[in-house]
Amino acid sequence: MEKGKLLYEGKAKQLFETDDPEIIWVEYLNQATALNGAKKDQISGKGELNNRITGIIFDFLRKKGIKNHFIKHLSANEQLIQSVEIIPLEVVVRNVAAGSFSKRLAVSEGTPLKAPIVEFYYKNDELDDPMVNEDHIQFLKLATTDELIQLRQMALAVDQALVGLFDSIDIQLIDFKLEFGRRKDGSLLLADEISPDTCRLWDKKTKEHLDKDIYRRDLGDIVPVYQEVLNRLEKRGE
């Protein structure tokens, strides 16, 4: 497989063409950003960790019957994925109150939610990714009614699978963000990444943050923390 020209550069990844139009070459970058890019740093080792963690999680989800775009790892910080048209929505699932949910609704961080809550945000940096409801999504033609039903179902299935996965390595899955893509035949695939950059992960016993809140809130170095998540996931596979 040949690495072709740069197609897209995001905050944490670069996407390249390959000689197969259905396949994209992804390079995970050592860049961390927060506050819609206002806070930005180079963090050596971060790209490798998120590449590895995402691959393990996507393989696990595939085994649970959740279709996703991950094909295989190429190197420490590179992977191949299926080409999809990304739906410009961030689908957030919450099991425990934290972050923007806690702030907006004045619910203390750490309050368990009786049932998972699904939220949609419009992926648009200029607008600062506003939260949207199903009527907004239809008005903006971001997804069809049928796709919205599928997105919700897939997001809840991912939640159920990941709560179990993380629980088995003594981590509580607080919340996370997903992105989905459309294939040419119109079917939906889970896409993007699932890593401590996109999830809130709390150690079950100590309640320590094992995720990007360490960076967002200046609580310390993220590399040893992300490494700890990877170590626990790898040990589980033994």
Residues found near ligand UDP in the complex (CB under 6 A): 90, 92, 98-101, 129, 175-177, 198-200, 212
Q: Which is nearer to ligand UDP, 60 or 101 (CB)?
A: 101
Length of the chain counted residue by residue? 238
Min CB(139)–ligand UDP separation in Å: 22
Give min distance, CB of 156 to ligand UDP, in A.
15
Find how far residue 174's CA is from the centre of its chain: 13
Looking at the Cβ atoms of 63 and 104, the one nearer to ligand UDP is 104
* Separation CA 123–CA 89 (nearest Å): 5
Alpha carbons 104 and 217: distance in angstroms, whole number: 18
- Sign of the Cα torsion 51, 55, 57, 61 reads positive
Output the six-digit token pair for 112. Answer: 């368990």
Closest contact distance (angstroms) between CB of 117 and ligand UDP is 11
CA angle 223, 121, 171 (to 5 degrees): 35
Give the residue with the Cβ less far from ligand UDP, 22 or 57: 57
Instruction: Compute the least distance from the CB of residue 99 to ligand UDP, in Å.
Output: 2
Distance CA 11, CA 54 (A): 16
Closest separation in Å from C-beta 185 to ligand UDP: 28
- Ranked by CB distance to ligand UDP, the top (closest) residue is 99
CB of 231 to ligand UDP, least distance (A): 21
Question: Which lies closer to ligand UDP via its Cβ, residue 134 or residue 146?
Answer: 134
Judged by beta carbon, residue 59 or residue 129, the one nearer ligand UDP is: 129
Scanning the chain, the segments in alpha helix (DSSP H) are 46-63, 99-105, 134-139, 145-167, 213-216, 222-236
Give long-range contacts, CB 8 A cutoff, 24+ apart: 96-104: 96/172, 96/174, 96/175, 96/200, 96/202, 98/174, 98/175, 98/200, 99/175, 99/200, 99/213, 101/175
18 vs 160, beta carbon nearer ligand UDP: 160
